[in-house]
Amino acid sequence: MSMLLQGTGEPILAAPTDPVRMIGERINPSGRKRLRQALQEGEWGYVINEAVLQVEAGANILDVNVGGRGIDEAEVLPEAVKRISEAVSIPLSIDTRVPAALEAALKACPGRPLVNSIGGEDKILANNLPIIADFKVPVIVLCMGQEGIPDNADDRLRIAHKVVDICVQAGIAEEDILLDPLVMTVGADGQAARVTLETTRRLREEFPRNNITGGASNVSFGMPLRADLNAHFLSTAYTLGMNMPITDPTESKIRYALSAGNIFLGRDIKTRTYMRTYRPKVTE
């Protein structure tokens, strides 16, 4: 089964056996003072430029997150979604856990967007899941529960099964559920990446028909050579099943790692895409 997403352009189908689909991460004011200022002041040209750069770099979907100090998500998120969808044609991922912002953004968004995200917290399931079900859109399920993020794969899998069952009972189609094993920084916990990768591997085994995502850049937070670390992490995560990572498509090392992954997993027929992308660069 494939999941369908759509912006104002052609629909995108995504399945675990398809080539990787990149979700662009750059429209997120966390740690980005200039973007936060642009969102606060309604400087939409700056925001739209971030969207266009990611699309030009190869993003298949754009995550739109406006959460930050001094920003009213319920007011700013639907406006951001409207402006961005007028500028680019690919699907959007509406990234908020604020119910009013979620509903307003879904009303403003053309096509069939993705929702990022819900988890096993009672409040989120009670307030956000009905909105997602009403709009009949795909959703990312986080492997976290009422007590937070477990430090082991067993508990993350247990939460995933529980929340997926709740989503299906609420009327969300099984193929419209993406799973997020939760990527944490190795700078704070030397076992963080190992647990995430183990969770990814087991999610792929236990949910073979569901797409798997994850905020891949989190792994390197606070570390040197972040792009290198992110690229190496993604090479492994993609091989284990993370086929729709949330990452920075403008970073060439990320693009190369995922392009190589398509070859290694047999998803780039006769390596045509790889050759078309990189051969001219070698012969120049």
Looking at the chain, the whole-number percentage of residues with pLDDT higher than 90 is: 97
How many residues are listed for the chain in this entry?
284
* pLDDT confidence band for 194 (50 / 70 / 90): very high
Position 280 scores a pLDDT of 78
Q: Could you tell me the pTM of the whole model?
A: 0.97
pLDDT, tens digit, for every residue of 90-116?
Answer: 999 999 999 999 999 999 999 999 999
pLDDT, tens digit, for every residue of 129-155?
Answer: 999 999 999 999 999 999 999 999 999
What CATH number belongs to 3-251?
A: 3.20.20.20
Among 77, 35, 45, 22, smallest CA distance to 261 is for 22
Q: Is the pLDDT of residue 282 over 70?
A: no
What H or E segment, with its residue span, contains residue 18?
Answer: none
Q: Where are the domains of the chain?
A: 3-251
Position 1 scores a pLDDT of 80
* pLDDT confidence band for 281 (50 / 70 / 90): low
Q: Averaged over 186-203, what is the pLDDT? A: 97
Under a CB-based contact definition with an 8 Å cutoff, are residues 204 and 212 in contact?
yes
* pLDDT confidence band for 284 (50 / 70 / 90): very low
Under a CB-based contact definition with an 8 Å cutoff, are residues 227 and 256 in contact?
no
Among 113, 118, 128, 10, smallest CA distance to 63 is for 113
pLDDT, tens digit, for every residue of 211-227?
Answer: 999 999 999 999 999 99
How many degrees, rounded to 5, is the angle at CA 77 between CA 71 and CA 82?
140
pLDDT, tens digit, for every residue of 15-26?
Answer: 999 999 999 999
Separation in Å, CA 259 to CA 19, 22, 206, 218: 9, 11, 26, 21
How many degrees, rounded to 5, is the angle at CA 18 between CA 12 and CA 23?
55
